[in-house]
Each structure stands twice: as structure tokens, then as C-alpha cells.
Amino acid sequence: MLDKLRKVALRLLQAVPTVFGILVVCFLLTRALPGDPAAYFAGPMADAESIEEVRKTLGLDKPLPMQFVTYVGDLVQGDLGMAISTGQPVMSELASRLPASLELTLGALLLSFLIAVPLGVLAATRPNTWVDHICRFLVTAGVSLPTFFTGLALMYVFYYLLGWAPAPMGRLDMMHLPPESVTGFLTIDAIIAGEWEVLGAALAQLALPLITLALFTLAPIARMTRASMLQTLGSDFVRTARAAGLSGRRVLITYAFRNALLPVVTTLGMVFSFVLGANVLVEKVFAWPGIGSFAVEALVVSDYAAVQGFVLSMALLFVALNLLIDVIYTLIDPRVGEEA
């Protein structure tokens, strides 16, 4: 156990240079962006003099190394600077927007995992039957439909034509006030506060964007489950287990499925990272106040502090995610289990 803890600590330490490297690269890259933020933020009638003033207030008149030192110094104190494009401290923007994006992303992943894994397993055990065809159809649809298109199509049908879905105006309609923020996840906060009506409203707002994203993430997970399931089913140890007379169910779940799950978890990690990117368009379509739309808007106007804060938080998120996946690996991998 101690050994495992030491391993985890070592992994965490390894992340430090990575994060620092990301900081430096991101700092330099944002400075290399075209466009002068001072000119942009000085406003519509600004003359050269007022642009200079804005440059000074933004600290952009100082040489680059100085700016970097100031940036890291502020960072150490937990200050990520001010996002001018939204007028809020980057820290509070991230704190309010990251949960919104995560709620969407994790919800979509959970939904697609719950559908894709059984579907993949079924498709692998019954190749070329109707289950396999459904799986193939969903996978093709999922990868070939861009998220904004799916989002708009779903909105058109379920909001515009049928009127089943609520108005796509963010995380909560105007009738309800958000519950007291504990986790930042509206659904969980509503449960904590015991406000079931708010929970229902939040879930209703969540439904369409969630389905949009889930359809998108379904494809790689289902495909990977099917492929790795097929592989393990055809492998020697499954054949041996069958030959030894173990029940089909036991062979499928204990032997084949547990082994097949490993690459699926890896895929899940990868899918998570690119879904956070794909989020951007879904967030725009559904007016979702998430981190993706924030970052894109910041990038468009060269809002340095916001972009840097976004990249840093993403870097930390992925370091944590990789760690988490390693831990899950040790939990589900039968071989690792034997060692412990």
C-alpha cells in the first residue's frame, strides 16, 4: 500500500515540470497571437494615447520576461488575473464555468458509457446480427455528424417543432433560481438542497446538450468495446476457460469483459479530452455558460489572462485525469490485482 502511495506521489511530482512547461509555452504562444489587446480593449473611439494607457493598465508595456515573472508571481498567490473580455477574475470564471462544462461532459460520458459498453459487448458476441447493425449505424452517425449539427437538429425537433424541451437558454430557465452552490454541479447542488423542482428543471435543460454530446462520444467507446471484446473472445485464455467447461456467462464477464475493459478505459480518457474541446460548439448552441465558449471568446479577442488560465486549468485537469485512469487501471486490471 505504501509502495502504491509512493508511486502516486512520484507520478504527481512528474507532473510539475509538465505543468511549468505548459505555462511557459502558453505564455509565449498567447503573446505571439496576432492582434493587440490594448487596441481592442481601449474601445471604439480610442486614440493612440488611450490605447497606450490601456496597455499600461494591462501591464503589456513591460518587457516579456518581466511580464512572465509578474504572471508566475500572481499565480503562486492564486491570482490568475482579470479576464477583460468578461470583466471577471479568471479564477472566479473558471470556478463557475468548469463545473458547468464538467457536468455536461461527465454526464454525456456516463450516458454514452452506459449505452455504448453493453451495445459493444452485444455486438461482439453476436456479430452480423441486427444488434451489430444498430451498433454500426450509431457509430457511423456519431462520428459523421458534427456536434453543432446534432445540437441544432435536436433543438429544431424537440424545442422548435414539438415544444417538449425547454427553451435552450443555459443551465436553468428563468423560473428557477439556482440552488446554493456547493459543488457547482447544478443537479448535485439541487439534490443537496433538496429542491426537486430545480433538479427537474436543470435536468430538462441538460437533456438535449447531453444527448448531443453522448451521441458524439458513443462512437469511439462502442467501437473500442466491440473490437477489444472480439479480440479477447478470440484469445487463448477464453478458449481455455471455455474448454475447461466454465459457464458462458462466467467466461464472458470475468474473463473476457474485464480484460476487454482496459482499452475501453484508455479510450474513455482520450474521449474525455476531446469532448471538452467539442463542447465549445454545443455550449454555444445551447447558451451553456461553460469553459469552452469562454476560452474561444477569449482567444478571439487575445485576452491573455483568460487564455492562460484556461490552458493551465486544462493542464491540471488532464494530469489529474491521467492519474485517475492509472488508478482505475490498477483496480480493474486482473494482473495488477494479483500483485497487490
54 binds another protein (CB under 8 A): yes
CA gap 78, 71 in Å, rounded = 11
CA gap 253, 162 in Å, rounded = 42
Alpha helices in the chain (DSSP H): 2-32, 37-41, 48-57, 64-76, 90-125, 130-144, 147-154, 186-193, 196-233, 236-243, 248-250, 258-285, 291-300, 304-332, 334-339
The 137-176 contact track toward another protein, x by CB under 8 A, reads ---------------x--xx--xx--x---xxxx--xxxx
Q: Rounded to the nearest whole angstrom, what is the least distance from the CB of residue 308 to another protein in the complex? A: 16
Q: Rounded to the nearest whole angstrom, what is the least distance from the CB of residue 59 to another protein in the complex? A: 13
- Interface pick for another protein out of 18, 67, 86, 330 (rule CB under 8 A): 86
CB nearer another protein, residue 20 or residue 149: 149
The footprint of another protein on residues 206-245 (CB under 8 A) is none
The 290-309 contact track toward another protein, x by CB under 8 A, reads ---xx--x--xxx-------
Candidate segments 44-52, 226-234, 236-244, 253-261, binder of another protein by CB under 8 A:
44-52
Q: Rounded to the nearest whole angstrom, what is the least distance from the CB of residue 30 to another protein in the complex? A: 11
Contact 98, 293 (CB under 8 A): no
CA 107 to chain centre: 10
In 3D space, the residue among 261, 211, 259, 224 whose CA is nearest the CA of residue 109 turns out to be 211
Contact 299, 35 (CB under 8 A): no
85 binds another protein (CB under 8 A): yes
- Block residue for cell numbers 518587457: 63
Which secondary structure element, helix H or strand E, spans residue 66, and what is its range? helix 64-76
Q: Rounded to the nearest whole angstrom, what is the least distance from the CB of residue 322 to another protein in the complex? A: 29
- Contact positions toward another protein, by CB under 8 A? 33-37, 39-51, 53-54, 57, 84-88, 93, 96-97, 152, 155-156, 159-160, 163, 167-170, 173-181, 284-287, 289, 293-294, 297, 300-302
